[in-house]
Amino acid sequence: MGQSSEEPAGESPGFPGVARQPRVSATLRATLLAFAVTMLTCLLSGALKSMAGEIAAIWLANALLLGQMMAAAPAQRYWVLAGGIAGNMAANLLGESLAVSLSYTFADTLEVLIAFSFAPRMTTIAELLRPKALIRFLAGGVILAPLVSGVLACTLLREQLSGNLLPNFANWFVSDALSLAIFTPGALVLWSGEAAQLLRGERRVKTLGLLLLVCAVTTGVFAQSQFPLLYWALLPIMLLAFQADLASVMVGLLLCLAIAVAFTMHGIGPLWMYPYENMEARIFSLQLFLLAALGIALPISATQVSRSRLVGLLREGERRYRILAENATDIVMSVTLDGRLTYVSPRAQTVMRRDPDELIGEYFPDLVIADDRDALATAIEKLATGASEVSQVSRFRRPDGQILWLETYLRPVIDPFSGQPETLTATARDVTARKAAEQRLAEERLELQGLAYRDGLTGLFNRRHFDRELEHQWRHLAEAEDSSFTAVVMIDIDAYKSFNDHYGHQRGDDCLRTIAQAIALSARRPSDIVARYGGEEFALVLKDTDLHGARRVAERIRLAVEALQVPHLASPAGVVTVSLGVAAQQPRQGGDASGLVAAADRALYVAKRRGRNQICVSESDDAGLGSLA
């Protein structure tokens, strides 16, 4: 049986609490860690009270607790807050009364909650430095939270604080605001695990070297009080900003601050060269100095990180492009706007039998045969003047003499700033096999067309082609301005059935072919249409020919057939002869092509009735009944 749907997801059916144990353990560790860190930092900051009266000049606890809450999982945040509150209370109780401890803890807790409401959970410092998130953090966490907590603390502790409340409020606000601004990003680096990653990355040696340089320079600057070298401490931090990531910069700033505070508290360092009133002023000045360094270094580092990411994306894009180009079945090329090749993929070696490096700098149209160069050059010019894409099929001669057909697609690469083409990309595909197939298809189409309009026995046009061409000529002349004639000659072999019966069908077919050749040779003009009309009957269409001219052609055909002297014992003439009917008409005068054919056909039958081997001409205007010419 399966697991019951009522059992909590993620828990073992036999041990319901097993799945919760890791979460409970992690939450307990986070709570205890928050308690310990907050208590220790409160005690550390409290030790500075002797330098600044009742208000510590550096308050680390709130920044570290805020950073831990930001990096914690949603289920752990308020447990972390609870641990921080307990740690804060425990530290205050070691030196203060319960009422004072409660006042300090309440003010600090309110400050952390307000700051956290403006700085939600983040996993990296880069998220904190995004414009919107950074503005929210500075406005709510650095300004509003210390302002509210300062007012609350001074109000609750007005009996315990000596002197005027305004200076005490100012000290509280400045120390907490500076500490939150400086230490919260550092705490986020610590709690998110980015600091630990510095020792695991590929650049750890370089990063550690730069951090050591920060420590060495900072020590050199603050270990003496004779020269005003304060701003020399900025140089290694700026170098770190240019060469390392954001987490490294924050670690470097914290190391710089720790070294500077240690020397300054012992009365050494460049800050002792200036006439500050007390230690409090020096510590505030030191924090302002580090805040300025932070304001300079972090934007530089963020810019460098973005630049490195963009460079990485460009390199990755170029790598992928080269992988695609070098493994593509097409030839990939980069072309300047004037047609010069700047890159050719290795596929050119296989397809074109040319070394790609040798083609760099060549004028692309020069690679194709002379008849195709102008078309390819024109296509490139179109892209340079605004076309979005062109394709061109060109012939290329390989070194071994073979002609290749290459289909090239060209596209412009647009400059994102000017919006104008800056270069071209081209992909060339070998379509030689396709062109050969197209050529074969064209030849087959012509052959099929010939079969559709040719008579298979005689090689002359068939009746379908005869009817189509006659109709076309008739419509053309009917719409023309002149009054040209169109003539039709109908031809029939005399006594052909008797020839077949006497000599057989094989000899009959030979006779048809012989007669067809004689007729075709007698129709001498290219525009004359000679067709086998059906059986032993043939027909001619004579363009721009009147009755007189048509009769001359018909007589030439009759004589040519008679001169063949093809034996025909079943015919009174003893040889094969033909009878012919002729008709001619002006299409502009009306009627239609079928009427003209009918007139010539009637004239043919008149010729056959009158004894065969003769011509009969239809002389009526409407191509009516023919009469003997």
* Each residue's pLDDT tens digit, 355-366: 888 889 999 899
User: Quick one: pLDDT at residue 538?
Assistant: 95
- Is residue 610 pLDDT above 60, yes or no? yes
Q: DSSP characters for 67-118?
A: HHHHHS-GGGHHHHHHHHHHHHHHHHHTTS-HHHHHHHHHHHHHHHHHHHHH
- For domain 454-618, the CATH architecture is 2-Layer Sandwich (3.30)
Nearest alpha carbon to residue 435 among 396, 467, 470 = 396
**Intra-chain end-to-end CA distance of the chain, in Å:** 111
- Is residue 159 pLDDT above 80, yes or no? no
Nearest alpha carbon to residue 123 among 67, 85, 165, 84 = 67
User: Quick one: pLDDT at residue 238?
Assistant: 86
Higher per-residue confidence, 109 vs 482 = 109
* Each residue's pLDDT tens digit, 547-606: 999 999 999 999 999 999 999 987 888 899 999 999 999 988 888 899 999 999 999 999
pLDDT-based confidence at residue 55 (cuts at 50, 70, 90) = low
User: Quick one: pLDDT at residue 116?
Assistant: 92
Phi, psi (degrees; rounded to nearest 5) at 483 = -115, 55
Phi, psi (degrees; rounded to nearest 5) at 396 = -125, 135
Residues labelled as active-site residues = 536
User: Quick one: pLDDT at residue 201?
Assistant: 65
- Is residue 609 pLDDT above 50, yes or no? yes
What is the average pLDDT across 204-222? 89
Report helix angle 432-453 to 463-479, nearest 10.
90
pLDDT-based confidence at residue 162 (cuts at 50, 70, 90) = low
In the chain, CATH 3.30.450.20 covers 328-436
Buried b (16+ CB within 10 A) or exposed e, 67-76: bbbbbbeeeb
- Is residue 430 pLDDT above 90, yes or no? no
User: Quick one: pLDDT at residue 450?
Assistant: 64
* Inter-residue contact 560 to 491 (CB < 8 Å): no
User: Quick one: pLDDT at residue 194?
Assistant: 81
- Is residue 487 pLDDT above 90, yes or no? yes
- Is residue 198 pLDDT above 80, yes or no? no
In the chain, CATH 3.30.70.270 covers 454-618
User: Quick one: pLDDT at residue 82?
Assistant: 93
For residue 404, what are the β-bridge partners? 396
Task: Determine which of 419-428, 460-469, 487-496, 540-549 has the lowest per-residue pLDDT on average.
Answer: 419-428
Higher per-residue confidence, 486 vs 384 = 486
For residue 390, what are the β-bridge partners? 410
User: Quick one: pLDDT at residue 231?
Assistant: 84
- Is residue 16 pLDDT above 60, yes or no? no
Tokens of 404: 């290749």
What CA–CA distance (Å, rounded) separates 453 from 279? 113
Query: For 20-192, CATH number?
Result: 1.10.1760
196 in helix, strand or coil? Answer: helix
What is the average pLDDT across 381-398? 85
Range of 159-173, 228-242, 457-471 with top mean pLDDT: 457-471
User: Quick one: pLDDT at residue 386?
Assistant: 76
User: Quick one: pLDDT at residue 629?
Assistant: 47
What CA–CA distance (Å, rounded) separates 110 from 149? 6
* Inter-residue contact 6 to 16 (CB < 8 Å): no
- For domain 328-436, the CATH architecture is 2-Layer Sandwich (3.30)
Q: DSSP characters for 468-493?
A: HHHHHHHHHHHHSSS---EEEEEEEE
For residue 164, what are the β-bridge partners? none
Tokens of 15: 């041990």
User: Quick one: pLDDT at residue 563?
Assistant: 92
Mean pLDDT of the chain: 83
581 Cβ partners below 8 Å, 6+ apart? 489, 490, 600, 601, 602, 603, 604, 605, 606, 607, 615, 616, 617, 618, 626
pLDDT-based confidence at residue 627 (cuts at 50, 70, 90) = very low
In the chain, CATH 1.10.1760 covers 20-192
Higher per-residue confidence, 396 vs 329 = 396
Range of 184-188, 272-276, 608-612 with top mean pLDDT: 608-612
- Is residue 489 pLDDT above 90, yes or no? yes
